[in-house]
Amino acid sequence: MSSNKISTKRRAEILDGNAVAAEIKAEVKDAVARLRESHNVQPGLAVVRVGEDAASAVYVRSKIRVSQELGLKSEHLALPAETSIEELLDVIEQLNSRADVDGILVQLPLPSAMDERKVLEKIDPAKDVDGFHPINVGRLVLNQQTLVPCTPAGIIELLKRSRVPMSGAIACVVGRSNIVGRPVAQLLLQHDATVTVCHSRTRDLASVTSQADILIVATGRAALIKSEHIKPGATVIDVGMNKITDEREARELFGDDAEKRINSIRTRGYTLVGDVHLRDALNAAGKFTPVPGGVGPLTVAMLMSNTLQAALMRRGIGNVSSEQ
Ligand code: GUN
């Protein structure tokens, strides 16, 4: 009964972040090999983590593993939670001065007592593979060549490689974080989209989002975006990553398809959902990134690309990639 009901509805094309990330990683791996052959240079990435945040530990391990798979030199500095900001700034200063380190990433969030701004501003902008330093943010806004934050850069790559036209498109970004919302709005503008940024104070959100050909959502609010927010046929990019622990909520969100989700809650304690209501997006959107499997894998792929880019820029080497 339920499968009948679903098959009669229009289903959005799923944009496969894993496939695009694999493509980007293969290109970076090739370029890294060519750089070693042509210039005897192996790009180096240092990832710094402070404290015991479990999710951060998983993300960092994945960044280190992928960097090694692609032939980058990488190191993981895991500092104890009681590290002082002075000690952390010293560690960054040492990494700034090392010739074999091209990229420095300080995993966020930092322990709450630490001034995140001071830490991010300490990173040499030329090694700032997150693109969070104010100098790099300024360059992004001014449309100058720079290191671009990884998730926004990944979203643009996904749109390009999925042949979603950006020039002249109406794009709406929901969420104004420094990590996703603000930079992705800048990038869409660079690609000649007409861009609106919505946030928690936006009045009548659906009246704005439902105009958008490209809708990008990064709010941290599970299933905020429903049918009425989506222009039929739009491309919807869901950057949300929310843990649902309540079985009743999972049943409400996933209806007939909730069984796998409920199993996940029973075995792992949670199921991951995006900021976009999955069934609504599948029925209303033209193209859609699911959670998990959408933009998540692209963030790590673009970090690798940024590390390569930093190594090239720091040494004044032109592009060794066969792409572009
Ligand atoms: N924590 C969550 N996302 C990110 C990211 O893109 N970079 C860093 N450094 N920390 C994060």
The average pLDDT across 240-259 equals 91
17-39 and 54-69 are packed helices; what angle lies between their axes, rounded to 10 degrees?
50
Equal fold, 39-124 vs 149-240+275-297: yes
Closest by alpha carbon to 170, among 212, 225, 127?
212
Helices assigned H by DSSP within the chain? 2-7, 17-39, 54-69, 85-97, 116-122, 134-141, 150-161, 181-190, 205-209, 247-254, 259-268, 278-284, 296-315
Cα 98 from chain centroid (whole Å): 27
Position 255 scores a pLDDT of 85
Residue 8 pLDDT > 60? no
What CATH number was assigned to the domain covering residues 39-124? 3.40.50.10860
* Domain residue limits, the chain: 39-124, 149-240+275-297
For ligand 1, mutation pick of 48, 114, 179 (most atoms within 8 Å of CB): 179
Mutation probe of ligand 1 site: the residue of 64, 108, 121, 129 with most atoms within 8 A of C-beta: 108
pLDDT band at 9 (very low <50, low <70, confident <90, very high): low
Fold of 149-240+275-297: Rossmann fold (3.40.50)
Give the single-character DSSP code of 276: B
Predicted confidence at residue 4, as pLDDT, reads 44
Is residue 30 annotated as a catalytic residue, yes or no?
A: no
The mean pLDDT of 86-112, rounded to a whole number, is: 97
Q: Are 275 and 223 in contact (CB under 8 A)?
A: yes
In the chain, % of residues over pLDDT 90: 90
How many angstroms separate the alpha carbon of residue 107 from the centre of ligand 1? 5
**Quick one: pLDDT band at residue 256, thresholds 50, 70, 90?**
confident
Q: How far apart are CA 128 and CA 277, in angstroms?
A: 34
Query: Does residue 248 surpass a pLDDT of 70?
Result: yes
For the chain, the first-to-last Cα distance in angstroms comes to: 49
**Residue 92 pLDDT exceeds 50:** yes
